[in-house]
């Protein structure tokens, strides 16, 4: 019986060793392509960044703009857009083919909430990624 217990413990240890051999995950954001840079600039044009916030009110999910595999924009109105840089890249996010599902733990979207991609055709789940801080970009009020 003692031998079975050792064998049961050996399997998880070997699995951990195999995973550790894969090395660390690179969470460094990839540079934006020219097309992504143009789109980001266009969406934030005329707006000024404010201090980041941890949470935003939930709103119409159709106003989410996928800029890259690690940048999402949440357009609240023509005057207000939140930029969210994910805590690590989310492979395939930018292509827009998959359904974006948010797993939030309240009535707001918050830093640390999870998003996952689901294949539109097969329903097979893809990468799961974590939201970062939300940086508000607002149009400055013009005096007059």
DSSP tag of 86:
-
Question: What is the token pair recorded at 47?
Answer: 């707006």
Per-residue model confidence as pLDDT tens digits over 61-79: 668 999 999 999 999 988 9
- Give residue-wise pLDDT tens across range 30-62: 789 999 999 999 999 999 999 999 999 876 666
Sequence-separated (6 or more) residues with CB below 8 Å from residue 87: 27, 112, 129, 130, 131, 132
Residue 83: CB atoms within 10 Å: 22
pTM of the predicted structure, to 2 decimals: 0.76
């Amino acid at each position: 019986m003692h031998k079975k217990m050792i064998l049961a413990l050996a399997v998880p240890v070997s699995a951990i060793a195999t995973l550790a051999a894969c090395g660390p995950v690179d969470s460094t954001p990839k540079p934006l392509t020219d097309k992504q840079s143009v789109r980001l600039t266009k969406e934030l044009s005329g707006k000024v960044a404010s201090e980041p916030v941890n949470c935003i009110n939930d709103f119409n999910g159709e106003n989410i703009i996928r800029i890259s595999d690690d940048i999402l924009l949440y357009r609240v109105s023509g005057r207000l857009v939140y930029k969210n840089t994910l805590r690590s890249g989310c492979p395939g996010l930018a292509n827009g083919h998959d359904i974006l599902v948010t797993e939030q733990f309240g009535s707001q979207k918050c830093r640390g909430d999870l998003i996952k991609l689901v294949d539109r055709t097969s329903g097979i789940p893809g990468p799961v990624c974590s939201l970062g801080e939300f940086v508000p970009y607002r149009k400055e009020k013009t005096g007059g």
